[in-house]
């Protein structure tokens, strides 16, 4: 009886060890391609919000405590700046900044997007990186009809309206998806705050 228990224990231990090594091996094999795909998605998003840029130089590569403190003070505690890159022309001259932003106020959870801001504070637009809102409602945040509202606008901050936008700083709310609209507007405003910080206006 004891021999059986010992044999079973050894067998289970070996199976667990082999399974663990196999999973570790798979993770090691897939980690790099996944990281490459994520980087490619970011690069494409930055290019989408800064078509005039010839290159992008990383300024902030991860969440920065000082920027996050500035966002908190400015009223955006639910938003995170994941990365900041400076857009440059073919001669290396700076054109502005692209920001990788996450807003946690979405109806379906976090929404991650890129946004571009020229040096004169003009928004180039936004490009969604990750979103899981309700189909037919919040997912409309990833349509050109919604995103174009942020393009070519030079404002200190945006606000949404349900009565039809009449000013540059107003965004038409997505019908039936006020929470998603609010999340996107706050996310963009957080990016504009980060722009002010990077330009030395903190």
- Per residue in 141-175, pLDDT (tens digit) is 999 999 999 999 999 999 999 999 999 999 999 99
Cβ of 194: how many Cβ atoms within 10 Å?
A: 28
- Per-residue confidence band for 37, with pLDDT thresholds at 50, 70 and 90: confident
Q: Which residues pair with 85 in a beta bridge?
A: 58, 98
Residue positions counted in the chain:
202
75-133 pLDDT, tens digit each = 999 999 999 999 999 999 999 999 999 999 999 999 999 999 999 999 999 999 999 99
Dig out the tokens for 100 from the structure: 């990788």
Buried b (16+ CB within 10 A) or exposed e, 138-176: bbbbbeeebbebbeebebeebebeeeeeeeeebbebbee
Q: What distance in Å separates the CA atoms of residue 144 and residue 134, rounded to the nearest whole number?
A: 17
Q: Read off the tokens for 86.
A: 């400076």
Residues 6+ apart with CB under 8 A from 64: 81, 84
Q: What angle do CA 103, 106, 109 make, to 5 degrees?
A: 90
Q: What is the pTM of this model?
A: 0.81
The closest alpha carbon to 141, from 101, 112, 104, belongs to: 112
Cβ–Cβ contacts within 10 Å for residue 61, how many?
11
Q: How far apart are CA 188 and CA 97, in angstroms?
A: 13
Beta bridge partners of 161: 172
Read off the DSSP letter of residue 84.
E
User: Which residue in 55, 35, 46, 71 sits closest to 129, CA to CA?
Assistant: 46
pLDDT of residue 170: 97
């Amino acid at each position: 009886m004891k021999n059986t228990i010992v044999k079973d224990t050894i067998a289970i231990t070996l199976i667990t060890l082999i399974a663990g090594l196999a999973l570790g091996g798979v993770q090691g094999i897939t980690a790099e391609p996944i990281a490459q795909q994520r980087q490619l998605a970011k690069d494409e998003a930055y290019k989408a919000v800064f078509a005039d840029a010839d290159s992008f130089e990383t300024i902030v590569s991860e969440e920065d405590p000082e920027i996050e403190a500035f966002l908190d003070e400015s009223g955006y505690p639910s938003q995170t700046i994941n990365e900041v890159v400076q857009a440059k022309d073919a001669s290396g001259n700076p054109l502005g900044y692209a920001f990788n932003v996450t807003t946690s106020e979405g109806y379906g959870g976090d929404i991650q997007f890129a946004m571009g801001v020229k040096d004169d504070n003009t928004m180039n637009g936004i490009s969604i990186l990750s979103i899981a809102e309700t189909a037919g409602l919040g997912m409309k945040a990833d349509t050109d009809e919604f995103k174009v509202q942020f393009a070519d606008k030079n404002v200190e901050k945006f606000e949404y309206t349900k009565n039809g936008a009449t000013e540059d700083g107003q965004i038409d709310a997505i019908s039936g998806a006020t929470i998603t609209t609010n999340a996107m507007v706050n996310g963009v405003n957080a990016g504009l705050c980060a722009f002010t910080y990077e330009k030395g206006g903190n």
